[in-house]
Amino acid sequence: MASPSANQIQASLGFGGRFASRLAAQPVLVAPSILSADFARLGDECRAALAAGGDILHVDVMDGHFVPNLSMGPAVCASVHRAVPDAALDVHLMVTDPAAYIEPFAKAGAAHITFHAEVVADPMPLIARIHALGMSAGLAINPNTPADALFPWLEAVDLALVMSVHPGFSGQSFIASVLPKTRAIRERARPGLRIQMDGGVAPDSAPACREHGCDLIVAASAIFGKRDYASAIQSLRG
Ligand code: DX5
Ligand code: ZN
């Protein structure tokens, strides 16, 4: 895997596209994943998660190929954007062909797009397209993918996502053996790089995530599965 040359690296505006300056002020961000929301009341669920302290909304996109499940596409993202236009939408593409979905999700109001390192040999062209559309860019690794799959691209991206479950479903158990990868990424990361943990994060696992350098916590069932979203978000943030 070749490292990007200096002139390939476009200066990042920071995580969160047009929301970057607002989000930069928060040391640990919490991203409610709407995958566990009640889809029949999605607008209300998004407003409730934001009112309870959620910093951004995590939008899980699954294609039935990269992961054994289907979830939501650009139309749902656009509806969420209309419902909560002041929320930064963090789109997590769990798809084998992320190139096909950059523009559709940009049009649907995404502020950020993450795609998986497992599906692209050279992520630089996609990172550049995401940045050119005014969004921040992230690269993700599954639990069985080593951290060094991300190392060549840490200067180019705004976010590194370490999956702590095998992607496809909310409500799975946290895989603690990914924590050393998070620390290894933090040790090599430039200041300002967000490191996101996604999968099975709950109040009992969130402290270890933060101690290993994670500063963006995604949670679906640990928020939308609870009665009190605000206390759930507060305990994840620490
Ligand atoms: C898993 C998704 C996650 C999921 C997390 O494939 O990428 O974002 O929504 O769900 P919980 O927090 O319930 O594990
Ligand atoms: Zn996700």
- Closest to 79 in 3D by CA, of 98, 52, 59: 59
Query: Would you give per-residue pLDDT tens digits along the chain (238 residues)?
Result: 455 554 455 546 799 999 999 999 999 999 999 999 999 999 999 999 999 999 999 999 999 999 999 999 999 999 999 999 999 999 999 999 999 999 999 999 999 999 999 999 999 999 999 999 999 999 999 999 999 999 999 999 999 999 999 999 999 999 999 999 999 999 999 999 999 999 999 999 999 999 999 999 999 999 999 999 999 999 999 9
143 in a structural domain: yes
Residue tagged active-site, from 55, 60, 63, 90: 60
198 belongs to a structural domain: yes
Distance 77 CA to ligand 1 centre (A): 17
Decide if 9 is inside a domain: no
**How far from 50 is each of 31, 89, 139, 210, CA to CA, in Å?**
9, 11, 25, 21
Q: Which domain holds residue 129?
A: 17-237
Question: Is residue 8 one of the residues assigned to a domain?
Answer: no
* Structural domain total, the chain: 1
Write the CATH number for 194: 3.20.20.70
Q: How far is the CA of 36 from the centre of ligand 2 (A)?
A: 11
Known active-site residue 63: no
Residue 70 lies in a domain: yes
